[in-house]
Amino acid sequence: MAVFPSSSSALELTISMPGFASSSSVRDLDINQVPSIGAEEDWITMNIDDEEESSNGGPPRKKLRLTKEQSRLLEESFRQNHTLNPKQKEALAMQLKLRPRQVEVWFQNRRARSKLKQTEMECEYLKRWFGSLTEQNRRLQREVEELRAMKVGPPTVISPHSCEPLPASTLTMCPRCERVTTTNLEKGPSKTAITTTTTTTMSTKVTTSTLQSRQSPAAC
C-alpha cells in the first residue's frame, strides 16, 4: 500500500505495491538519493568572484559545480530541515564557503525537484492503480455475467453477524450502482444482505459484507 506523505514536500516516501514494482525499482526512485556523478573528482568549483560578474551583464557566467563534500553537507541539512532560517543559512554558507544566496537557491531547487520527483512517483503509482482497478472491474463484470448466466439455485449468503447461512434469497444487481445484492425472500423486504467480495488489488484487499436497510435503486 502506498503511504502518501502528509505534505507534498515530505521526503520520506515509501511506496510498495504488492504485485507491482520490485523493491529495487522502488529504491531507484528514492528521491533522497544523491544522484551519482560519473567523474565526481572532476567537478569544477568556481570561485565566488568569477560568478559575481555574470549577473551584471559581464562575461557569460561559469557554472558552479558543488564539490562532493558540499553536496553531502547540503543534503544532510536538507534532510534535517527543508527550509532554513537566515541564521542557519548564514552558518551553512560559511561552513560551505558559499554565499548565502547560493545556499538559498540550492534549497529552493532541492525543494522544487523533490516535489517534482514526488509528483512523478505519485502519478506513476496512480496510473498503475488505475490499471489494476480497470482490470478488477473487468473481472467483476465477467463474474456478474457468469452468475447471471448460471441462474442456479439460491446462493448461500453467510450472515456477517451470526456467521451462519442466511435463508434462501435471490441474486439481483442494482442497475444504478451495479452492486450485486441478495434479497432475503423469507424474511421479507426489510433487510438486504449486500455481499461484495473483491480480490486483492494493489495492496488493498477489500472484503465487505454488510447488512443495510433495503434501498431502492434510486437511493443508491
Partner DNA sequence: GCGTCCTTAGTCCTTACCTCA
Partner DNA sequence: ATTGAGGTAAGGACTAAGGAC
Contact positions vs DNA (CB under 7 A): 9, 34-35, 37-40, 42-44, 51, 54-55, 60-66, 71, 83-84, 86, 101-102, 104-109, 111-113, 115
- Comparing CB distances to DNA, the nearer of 71 and 169 is 71
- Comparing CB distances to DNA, the nearer of 62 and 127 is 62
Cα–Cα dist 205/156, whole Å = 22
Residue 127 C-beta: closest distance to DNA, Å: 19
Residue 26 C-beta: closest distance to DNA, Å: 16
- Contact between 192 and 183 (Cβ < 8 Å): yes
176, amino acid identity: R
Cα–Cα dist 137/135, whole Å = 5
198, amino acid identity: T
- Comparing CB distances to DNA, the nearer of 101 and 142 is 101
Residue 172 half-sphere exposure toward CB, CA atoms < 13 A: 17
- Comparing CB distances to DNA, the nearer of 40 and 135 is 40
Cβ atoms < 10 Å from Cβ of 114: 19
Residue 201 C-beta: closest distance to DNA, Å: 31
- Comparing CB distances to DNA, the nearer of 7 and 141 is 7
Residue 152 C-beta: closest distance to DNA, Å: 56
CA distances in angstroms from 34 to 68, 109, 173, 176, listed in the order given:
10, 14, 54, 51
Residue 105 C-beta: closest distance to DNA, Å: 5
